[in-house]
Amino acid sequence: MSLTDLAAIASIISSVAVLATLVYLNIQTRQSDRNQRSMLIQARTANQVDAWLLTTDANLAAALVKARSDPANLSEVELYQYFAQQRAAWTWVQEAFFQHNARLLDGPEFESVVASLKGTLTTPAARAFWAMNWRSYSANFVVFVEGLMKSVAVAAPRDPLVRWKEELAKVEAARLPASLE
């Protein structure tokens, strides 16, 4: 075996090693991407849960209920509470919009944000908030929200307590009698 043959074999081995390294790096990059997306979704979820838990404060909950059922009669303090909660919620939605556009948030995660926003946009109070505050948000986000607003009608407020009782009645009606359990 000549020196040239050994050099050719070494070159082939080197090429295989480089290829193996590239495959390994590709696997690591994909794993890192999955981990970052997972951490992003986990952080978004934690932030949303924290925001929802804050709305259990009795005074804020009362203001939110009134904003949904009787928005024209909010007091100044209730309006402030409603606006603070809405600013936080809209900032969260805008951040999801940015993350979606950067391809960091996609599929079911972003669809759930859009579904939630559509539900919010059915309320007169949310639309009034938007009309007064849209200038605080990015131009692309404003276009996105305005498009959603055209696709969602304002709905008459529905008392969640009435709906809760209706759903409980359905569950009770579907339950097996004690003798069949």
The DSSP secondary structure of 72-118, one letter per residue, reads GG--HHHHHHHHHHHHHHHHHHHHHHHHHHTTSS-HHHHHHHHHHHH
Q: What is the pLDDT of residues 114-132, one digit of tens each?
A: 999 999 999 999 999 999 9
Q: What is the CA radius of gyration of the chain?
A: 27
Q: Which residue has the higher pLDDT, 35 or 152?
A: 152
Mean pLDDT to the nearest integer, 98-118? 90
Contact call for residues 69 and 159 (beta carbons, < 8 A): yes
Q: Where are the domains of the chain?
A: 1-54, 58-171
Residue 98 and residue 108: Cα distance in Å, rounded? 16
> What is the predicted pLDDT for the residue at 29?
86
pLDDT at 14 over 80: yes
Contact call for residues 121 and 148 (beta carbons, < 8 A): yes
Mean pLDDT to the nearest integer, 62-88? 94
| Confidence bin at 47 (pLDDT 50/70/90) | confident
Mean pLDDT to the nearest integer, 62-81? 93
Q: What is the pLDDT of residues 125-170, one digit of tens each?
A: 999 999 999 999 999 999 999 999 999 999 887 788 888 999 999 9
Percentage of the chain lying above the pLDDT 70 cut: 97
